[in-house]
Structures are given as structure tokens and as C-alpha cells.
Structure 1
């Protein structure tokens, strides 16, 4: 009996001396030691290593920041380690910040975004 091969996505590593600008999409986990600038999406987890930088828009399941992030983030879970720096806007259900980690910006809940999208009404229209 032949079994179907499962499609697995490996780990993508962006080395510390690498710079990428533009739209980037990962099907699996990503480990970023270099510099990414642009619109980034992952169907899985993204880890920004100490010394790594992401600038722009990032959409993923989970992100762990030990380096630097600046921009707009949409995820289910955000972890900022003791060496991590976040500067921007995040839409996430869960945020964990270790002692020494920095968060500068705004946080929104995924639930609030879902309600606004499903009602197709902006908050200003609701107030009237």
C-alpha cells in the first residue's frame, strides 16, 4: 500500500548579512537574522533574531522578537524577548513581553477587527 507524502514546509533562514526588500512570503517557519523591508507574510511562525530587523508589514501566526521590528504586525501571538524592540502597531490576541523587552506603539485585538469587518461598519458610523 502506497502512502501519500505529506507536504511539509521547511525553515527559511535569512542570514545576518542578507538584506531583502519587497514582498516576501514564507510557507513555513522563518528565522530572520538579516534585514527584511516590505510586506512579509508567513503561514507559520517568524522569529527575529538578536541583530535581525524587520521593517514594514508582517502577517503571521506567531512572532518572537529578539531583534528589531518597526511597522504593522498582524498575528495570533506576539512574544518580545528581553533584547527585543517593537515599534509600531500590532493586532494580536496574545502579547508576552519579557523584562527588558520594549514595546512602543498601539495594540488591537483580533476580535475587535473581526467584529468591524463582519458588520462592515466603521466605529464612527456606529457612534451616530
Structure 2
């Protein structure tokens, strides 16, 4: 997590989730989810399983799912399997929808300890049906 008021420049590669409330310029490669919080400002490329934007993002996205909530703004090129834009959310750029036979970007579950820590840090709905 990068807190509000923090500025970060550089590239990040991680197995877990990432949450940005500050400012970042660089690239993120995550096997988990990337969240740009409402106060978050990100410039660069993101490759992740799921990207949730409620702040501002400028760059490329390669993900299984991109969600832009009401306060979110995304500009750039996106390559996703699913795109969700809530009323009020903004997207400016080009999009490419991945085919369903394209392999999903999945987390590495070989490390049970890391997986257990992640589920505590980022609880998910018990339902297996996608929420839109």
C-alpha cells in the first residue's frame, strides 16, 4: 500500500495485491489485484489480474478485469477480458477485448502462506458469480 501524500517513482513487481492512495509514476506487474484509490494518481503501465480505479490513471492496462468506479478516470490503452464502467466513471483511449480462450492472468497459489495473508488483507465475496 502506498499512502496518500506519498510519491513513488519506479517499477514494481509483486505476487500480492497493490493499493495506491498516493502518486506513482512507473510500471506495476502484479499477480493479484491493483487498486488506485480515490486520492491515487498513477502514470504508467499495469499488468494485473484485476484493476480497480477510483482515482486517476494514465497508461496501459493488461488485465482480466478493469473496473472504473464513479470517481475513477482512466486514459490510455487497455487490453482486458472484462470492462466495467460505473455511471460517472470516465475512460478515454482505446480498448481491446481479450478472447475467452486467452489464458487468464492468475495468481501463483504455490505459496500457501502468501495466499492466506492475501485473503486476510483483501477479503472477497463468497459468491463465485461476478458482481457488476
Give the structure with the higher percent helix. 1
Partner of 2:40: 52
Q: Note the alpha carbon deviations across 1:37-75, whole angstroms, 9 max, x for none.
A: 111111000111001011011100001100001011100
> Taking structure 2 as the reference length, what is the TM-score of the superposition?
0.73
Q: What's 1:122 paired with?
A: none
Structure 1: runs of 5 or more not aligned: 1-12, 115-128
Give the corresponding residue for 1:68. 56
Q: CA deviation at 1:14?
A: 0.5
TM-score scaled by structure 1? 0.75
Could you list the structure 1 runs, at least 4 aligned residues long, displaced by more than 2 angstroms after superposition: none
Following superposition, the deviation at residue 35 of structure 1 comes to 1.0
Taking CA–CA contacts closer than 8 Å with sequence separation of 6 or more, which of the two structures ends up with the larger relative contact order? 2
Q: Determine the C-alpha separation between the residues in 2 that align with 1:34 and 1:26.
A: 18
What root-mean-square deviation, in Å, do the aligned CA atoms of Structure 1 and Structure 2 show?
1.3
Quick one: which of 12, 22, 29 aligns to 1:41? 29
Other-structure match for 1:30:
18
Larger Rg computed on CA atoms? 1
Count how many residue pairs are aligned between Structure 1 and Structure 2: 101
Aligned mate of 2:79, from 88, 91, 95: 91
Give the distance between the partners of 2:2 and 2:76, measured in 1 at CA. 22
